[in-house]
Amino acid sequence: MGNRVRVVLFAVLSLGVALACGASLAMAQGTKEETEAQSTTQSTKEKTTAQSKYTDTFPPEEYLTTGENPYFILQPGYVLELKGKEDGEKTELTITVTNETEVVDGVETRVVEERETKDGKLREVSRNYFVIGARTNSVYYFGEDVDFYNKKGEVTSHEGSWRSGVDGARFGLQMPGIVLLGSRYFQEVAPEVALDRAEHVSMNEKAKTPAGSFNNCLKVKETTSLERGVEEFKLYCDGVGLVKDGPLELTSYGYLGT
């Protein structure tokens, strides 16, 4: 074989090796980039999942039927009255901590009645079951029995009623004893019935209401996994409790007979 032929063959073989190496490097680089992209995507998904998670299970503790924390008063005789216009109707909401207790899921709870009227006619009455933790000072929600009324004063529905321990429902957290910005938790854990969630979005809100002006209030965004895109906002103020519920504003608060 001539020297010229050998040189040509050597050049061809060298080119083939170079192309093969280049292809291998490109494949390796592509695999590395794909792996990094997958890792980044997975990390983003995990971060998003962690950020969107709401606490739905709460350790048991000793429960009391009477007490209070800065944003929720569970003392018999305490009353909040809120008024405003909702869906074009004059709405009044009265929240009363009653003298009654009820055993729910094996726990004695305090009955808090919510009575709502629209244009002067009764539309809804709910009996809510709450306790307060002796250790955490958190208020827990054990369920509610609801009556909806039509304009004739007839009960038409019990939609939204649930009790902890029934049909897979578990008690939720209504208001933590220690309030932290960004906290997320389920207030109601009743599959397919009530899955309300709360998120603390601000702790320095000002509220001007007919009952007075308040500073450093807690703003809570409420959503439900049963209805996407639906949001409601409430304001709670230290030593008072709920002062704004959507368009409704606090008009009076205090104890019965005072």
Q: How does pLDDT run across 99-109, given as a tens digit for each residue?
A: 999 999 999 99
Q: Is the pLDDT of residue 72 over 60?
A: yes
Residue type, 258: T
Percent of the chain with pLDDT over 70: 80
179-227 per-position pLDDT tens digit: 999 999 999 999 999 999 999 999 999 999 999 999 999 999 999 988 8
Average pLDDT of 161-188?
97
For tokens 């429960």, the residue is 63
Q: Are 93 and 81 spatial neighbours (Cβ–Cβ below 8 Å)?
A: yes
Percentage above 90 pLDDT, the chain: 75
pLDDT of residue 20: 45
Is pLDDT of 84 > 80? yes
Task: Tell me the C-alpha distance between 140 and 173, whole Å.
Answer: 4
Residue 58 pLDDT exceeds 80: yes
Residue 63, both tokens: 């429960």
Enumerate long-range contacts of 77-81, CB under 8 Å, 24 or more apart.
Answer: 77/255, 77/256, 77/257, 78/241, 78/253, 78/254, 78/255, 79/252, 79/253, 79/254, 79/255, 79/256, 80/240, 80/241, 80/242, 80/250, 80/252, 80/253, 81/250, 81/251, 81/252, 81/253
Least Cα distance to 142 among 112, 109, 116 occurs for 109
Name the residue ranges covered by the structural domains of the chain: 1-52, 63-255
pLDDT at 3: 45
Q: What does pTM read for this prediction?
A: 0.79
For the chain, the maximum distance between any two Cα atoms, rounded to a whole number of angstroms, is: 119
Mean pLDDT of the chain: 86
* Confidence check: pLDDT of 172 > 50: yes
Residue 4 vs residue 92, higher pLDDT: 92
What pLDDT score does 249 carry?
A: 98
